[in-house]
Amino acid sequence: MAGVALLLDLLKRSQGFSTQSLHSHSLFSATVAASAAAASIAAGRPFASRAIFGDGGLFSIAYCDAGASAELNADYVPDLRSASKDAFYHDSIKYRTKEYPIQLKPLFSAFGLKALGMTSLRSFLLFYLPLLEPRPPVEDDDDFLQDVPEERPTDLVTPFQNSVKQIIRETSVVTIRRVLERLAVQYVSPRMAWKLLKDVPKSARRKANRGMPTLLYFYSVSRTTFRGHLLGVAASWLVQIVIEIYRCFIRKSNSGNEEVDIRVKFGHFRKKVYGTLVKCSASLVFASIGAGIGALFHPSTGQWIGCALGDFAGPIIVVVCFEKLHMDI
């Protein structure tokens, strides 16, 4: 540094240099002085601290070279911003952490005004509509007058009793399902509980928006329906088991033989439990398949209709198949 300052002083006192040359030489000398000062400061620090504080020269030179080279050939030398983005950002950062929103319905939702009204209307129509079937007219022929059966009054009490029993059964199934949902939230993982409580028609609509292949979409909707319909089928199976316990062990038989062997009762009960399990399993499987087929036509409405049809047709198909094989169920 002392040598550089002395050199500048000699240049100023010299008579042979013009003002322009002095200006140019002073710029040159200033550049040299700045370089020497930077070199002296850099030499005063170890290599590790220079890398930390940013004046080691490596990072600055890389930045400058990247900027200059990008202007010349941008295809081969990437920009520093894009390079750092590729180095420090992964594709997984683009996606948010998947959340599992669990929304429990009220425990006694089956006894709401709308739900109870729809259940009552469906039950009464199920047992009273067969009474409205038209009967064939009786021909006025003397030869057949003796064979005409007597007209009996229409029994309106038995359909009413069956309708009330059906209403109790359906409300019990829905209530037990709400209990199972709360047990699932309490004792299984949040991810599995979310899958069991998922709104399947909305899930089918979301899957349709992803542009899946047809076979993969059918499989995904069927699997989601299987999980979402599992608690409902389990609740129906539990209610039916309670009904069979009442019929086999509590209700008095009309045959007059009150002292029936307990082994016979348990055998009959075991057969009923097996038949109920097979029917409920068939209902679950066919509901899942029907939902997958229906979702191919319409994501939400088709899934709901296919699930309802499969739930209704599954036990009937199983009963017919068992009858063809001469097996009791």
Q: Is residue 141 in some structural domain?
A: no
Is the pLDDT reported for residue 148 higher than 70?
Answer: no
Domain assignment of residue 48, yes or no: yes
Are residues 198 and 307 both part of a single domain?
Answer: yes
> Does residue 99 fall inside a structural domain?
no
Q: How many domains does the chain contain in total?
A: 2
Same domain, 43 and 120: no
Q: Measured at the alpha carbon of residue 189, what is the angle toward residues 187 and 195, in degrees to the nearest 5?
A: 110
User: Are 282 and 224 in the same domain?
Assistant: yes
Co-location of 83 and 123 in the same domain:
no
Question: What average pLDDT score do residues 193-198 get?
Answer: 90
Any domain includes 174: yes
pLDDT at res. 260:
64
Q: Give the domain-ending residue among 66, 94, 122.
A: 94
With beta carbons less than 8 A apart as the criterion, state whether 300 and 205 touch: yes
User: Are 239 and 290 part of one and the same domain?
Assistant: yes
Query: Is residue 255 domain-shared with residue 316, that is, in the same domain?
Result: yes
List the end-to-end C-alpha distance of the chain, in Å, as a whole number. 106
Residues 54 and 166 in one domain: no
Helix axes 214-245, 200-209, angle to 10 degrees: 170
Percent of the chain with pLDDT over 90: 36
Whether 261 is covered by a domain: the verdict is yes
Say yes or no to pLDDT of 184 above 50. yes
Identify the band that residue 53 occupies on the pLDDT scale cut at 50, 70 and 90. Answer: very low
Asked whether residue 175 falls in the same domain as residue 310, the answer is yes
Tell whether 164 and 291 lie within a shared domain.
yes
CA-nearest of 121, 230, 141, 247 to 177 is: 230
Q: Is residue 291 part of a domain?
A: yes
- Pick from 116, 251, 102, 245: nearest CA to 175: 116
Same domain? For 118 and 89 the reply is no
User: Are residues 83 and 8 part of one domain?
Assistant: yes
In 190-300, which residue ranges form alpha helices assigned H by DSSP?
190-196, 200-209, 214-245, 262-297
Low-confidence winner among 15-24, 91-100, 105-114 (lowest mean pLDDT): 15-24
Residue 263: per-residue pLDDT: 82
> Are 16 and 44 part of one and the same domain?
yes
Residue 274 lies in a domain: yes
pLDDT of residue 19: 45
- What domain range is 235 assigned to? 113-131+157-324
286 within a domain of the structure (yes/no): yes
